[in-house]
Structures are given as C-alpha cells and as structure tokens.
Amino acid sequence: MSRILIVDDEQSLRDMLSLALGDEGWDVGTASDGDAAAAALLTEPVDIVLSDIRMPGKDGLDLLRHVTASAPDTDVILMTAHASTDSAIEALRLGAYDYITKPFDLDELKITVRRALDQQALRRDNVMLRQELADRNSFGNLVGRSPAMQRVFELIRRVTDSTSTVLIAGESGTGKELVARAIHYNGARGKAPFVAVNCAALPAHLLESELFGHVKGSFTGADRHKEGLFEAAAGGTILLDEIGDMPLEMQPKLLRVLEDRMVRRVGSTSGVGVDVRVLASTNKNLRGAVGDGSFREDLFYRLNVIQVDLPPLRDRFEDVPLLAEHFLAQLREESGAEVQGLAGPAIAALEAYSWPGNVRELFNAVRHAVTMETADVIQLNSLPPFVSGGASAAPMAAPSTVAGSPEPAAGAASSALPTAGLDLEEYLDGVKRQYMLEALARSEGVQTRAAELLGMSFRSFRYYAKKFRIGEQGEA
C-alpha cells in the first residue's frame, strides 16, 4: 500500500486531505510542520510528501531539500496559497515532483498523486528489469571450467570497461551473443541500451535503413522519419551479429560510421553523432573471407581490435556435465519441473556425443529430457535418441540376435553392406561405443560391471571410454 505524508500547519486541511486520500486506499499520515515531517520520515518510508510551502520553522522548500538528500525515492508535491513564478521554479529546480496552488480541485490533486505513484512504480520496474538483465547476462551464465573457457573469461574481464571494438568468433551455437551481453552488462555501459542486429537477415538497402535510419520520403514506404539502431543504442552497445554475412555493398558504409562515429540516415544530407560501443560476432573465418574478396580488409582490421574465440563444445567436453546441470536449474526455474539431476549413464551419453550444434544443441537436449522424464532424475532413455543411442540415432537396422548373446544397441550393426560402402573402423567404433553406453546403463554407471557384461577387462574398458569420451561416472 502506498504511503502519503501530509504536511501543513492547518489542522482542518490535514484532516480533510487525510480523509480524501485515505478513501483512495492509500495509507495517510500527517505532520504539522517540516521538523515533525523530517522526524516522521526517520521512522517509516513514505512514497509521497504533500507539503505546504509556508510553515513556521522548517518550511516546504527546506523539507524538500531534506527529502531529496535523505530519501531520493520519495516524491514531493508542494502546495501554497501564495503562488509565484519564482517559488514554482525554485521548487521544481530543487526536485519537486509538482507544484499546486490553493485553493485546489481535490480531484486534480488525486490525479497528481496517482500519476506520481505510477511513475514510481515504473521506475521500480525499470530497476528490477535492469537488475534481472544484469543477472541473466552476468559472468555466472557463462559456464565452463575447462582451460579454454577460463581463457575466454579472463579476456572478457579485461575488455568489459574498454571502449575497444571486440570481434567474437565461434561456431553457431557456441554462445556469442551471451558473451556480448556479458561484456555490455558487466561494463561501464551496463545501464544503457544493448541492441543486437543480425547482419545476415536483411538485404543491403533494408539493412542500411535498419542500422542508420531514414528520413520521410527517402524511398517507397518511408512515410515517416525513423531512428536507426545505432542511434537507439546511444550510450550503450550495438552487436553486429553474423558480421561475416553483411552484404559487400554495405561494408564501406559501416566502415565510415566506425571511423567517423557519425550516422547519416537514408535520404539525409547531414550526419548525427553516436556514442556507441561496437561488438561484432561471426561464425566465419573472416581472414579467409578477406582473402577471397567477400569481406573488406579495412573493415576487418577496424573490427578485429580484440578477438574473443569461443571454443566448440566438442573441444571442451569436460564442461558438458556442468552446462547440463546449469540448464537443468534454468528449466526448473522456468517451468517448475521437479527433475533434480542427471543419472550417471545420462551424463556419460552427454559427454560422449560430439555436439555439432554446440551449447544451443545441448540446451535443447536437456529441455527434451526434462519434458520426457517422469522420475526425479534424468535417465538415459529420456535424452533425445541421437544422444542416447536410441533407434532413431542410426539408419541401419540391428541384426537378429543369437540365443544367449546380449541384445545389441538399437541400430548398432547391420548385416548388409551399404551400396556406397562405409568406413569399417569408424563404424565398428560406433558399435562398440553404443554397446558400452548400454552396458553402463544396465550397470547403473559402474564400469567394472559394464566391462563384465561386455567380456572386457576393466583396463580395456577404461581405454575405450577415454577414446570415445565416455565419462567415468561409476566406481572402479
């Protein structure tokens, strides 16, 4: 409930306002002068101070100065029977929310109070939203204990407060935008806008308008002036995502903006200065693109002041269990799922998969498992078939089993040689890996039991587990 403090030396006015504002559902307190109001503010926070200007002792302007210094989230509305332009200007200069003259219309006063409370709520929402964005994009959401990711973290820490342009390179799904957001929200510009634009999504003429804006009448359909994304990101950061796919004819225009820090709207003859930090990301080899003429060399060197290289997930498989647990915690918070962890065989399967779609693919796999799992721990068979080694993971059917032999993993072998042939060693490695995962599942992750099921020595099982990147989840 919003709290309002009425300050006036006239008892009758305090009583009347207390009844009128109390009827609106607000919690109303009163004070007879500025000193009493200052004392009241020490005991309980107040949203609005509604105060007379002319009072004995500490007057309304003195009280306004006190509130501004000691309770900056409290708004002050001043009222007086002795209006003057000078006093109104002084009150507003000192930070008063508004200024009303006695006698006033009670309904108009209520509207003024309600407007002040609404703006306070909006400010609180903005603070909460910015904090949520900062938390969501903090370093805590960049997960990894591998040496490769530790090097990335250290580089990000060094560049957050820099003004240098940063080029973030990595395969699709490695988390390039997450890195860009972490750089922005943990740096000096963190409270200013973060704007991302996909440079591959639009043809050159539309991308130019999107980035730099346009003036009315500059092309068909331009029925009004439009601010570009560089201007929208003023004071903050713009991420030029997939910069390697930017049309070649747009690249010199972007280069000019990076050099001059001025944008010229399409159809305009004058430029607008912009204070924006530029980050760029790419899944391409830009040096190679420079070599084949699809990317300008001068633009490459302008962008590549500092480069952050994100490793693919297959090169940091030791991070897979940590990421999976992180995603599981996120999904629990989002959906209220009750799944509390991952079983050993499930973790082993996650570690053994090559993750061509990188972190994004892992997140989707965990989401799939959370949706399918009915127990409180994710089991192997709840993972997508391409991860768990299920029937849809391999195209060839399994052969008939011999009596007394263990059942082969789904799709593990075929009696027919494909028409196009196959790499026999690679195929047999795949068969062996799937049998090992199945044996781990049956033995609840205990490797010695899994080795016995397969007629292997424990040393041989460990060797192949390391070769196939199957995690050592059970006890030896």
Average pLDDT, rounded, for the chain: 83
Residue 249: what pLDDT?
A: 92
Nearest to 314 by CA among 368, 345, 351: 351
Domain ranges of the chain: 3-131, 139-311, 317-467
Name the token pair of 308: 């952050």
Give yes or no on whether 139-311 and 317-467 have one common fold: no
Query: Cα–Cα distance between 163 and 278 in angstroms, integer?
Result: 8
Check if the beta carbon of residue 212 is closer than 8 Å to that of residue 228: yes
Query: Cα–Cα distance between 474 and 446 in angstroms, integer?
Result: 4
Q: Is the Cα torsion angle 313, 380, 390, 414 positive or negative in sign? A: positive
pLDDT over 60 at 150, yes or no: yes
Amino acid residing at 72? P
Residue 214: what pLDDT?
A: 83
pLDDT over 90 at 311, yes or no: yes
Pick the CATH number of 317-467 from 1.10.8.60, 3.30.70.100, 3.30.420.40, 3.30.1490.20: 1.10.8.60
Question: Residue 82's pLDDT band (boundaries 50, 70, 90)?
Answer: low
Note if the bond before 72 is cis, omega within 30 degrees.
no
Check if the beta carbon of residue 52 is closer than 8 Å to that of residue 33: no
Residue 420: what pLDDT?
A: 63
Nearest to 22 by CA among 42, 7, 5: 5
Among 46-50, 325-329, 440-444, 449-453, the range of highest mean pLDDT? 46-50
Residue 471: what pLDDT?
A: 67
Higher pLDDT, 253 or 412: 253
The neighbouring-strand residues paired with 16 are: none
**CATH 3.90.730.10 for domain 139-311:** no
Residue 407: what pLDDT?
A: 41
Residue 290: what pLDDT?
A: 95
Nearest to 61 by CA among 94, 13, 39, 85: 94
Residue 428: what pLDDT?
A: 75
Name the token pair of 138: 């903090």
CATH superfamily of 3-131: Response regulator (3.40.50.2300)
Give per-residue burial for 255-267: e unless 16+ CB within 10 Å, then b.
Answer: bebbeeeebbbbe
Query: Cα–Cα distance between 73 and 67 in angstroms, integer?
Result: 9
* Ranges of H-type helices in 9-139: 11-22, 34-43, 60-70, 85-93, 106-136
Look at the pTM and tell me if it is higher than 0.75: no
pLDDT over 80 at 473, yes or no: no
Residue 336: what pLDDT?
A: 76
Q: Of 172-186, 271-285, 422-436, where does mean pLDDT reach its minimum? A: 422-436
**Over the stretch 343-355, which tens digit does the pLDDT of each residue have?**
888 888 898 888 9
pLDDT over 90 at 300, yes or no: yes
Residue 83: what pLDDT?
A: 57
Query: Cα–Cα distance between 447 and 130 in angstroms, integer?
Result: 48
Check if the beta carbon of residue 167 is closer than 8 Å to that of residue 303: yes
Rounded percentage of the chain residues whose pLDDT exceeds 70: 87
The helix/strand/coil state of 43 is helix
Residue 388: what pLDDT?
A: 82
For 194, the enclosing helix (H) or strand (E) is strand 194-198
**Over the stretch 374-430, which tens digit does the pLDDT of each residue have?**
888 899 889 998 888 753 333 333 333 333 333 444 444 444 566 666 677 777 777
DSSP state, 343?
-
Chain mean position to CA 56: 53
Query: Cα–Cα distance between 241 and 280 in angstroms, integer?
Result: 6
pLDDT over 90 at 289, yes or no: yes
* Ranges of H-type helices in 239-340: 251-260, 286-291, 297-303, 320-335
pLDDT over 90 at 216, yes or no: no
Question: Residue 54's pLDDT band (boundaries 50, 70, 90)?
Answer: confident
Residue 301: what pLDDT?
A: 95
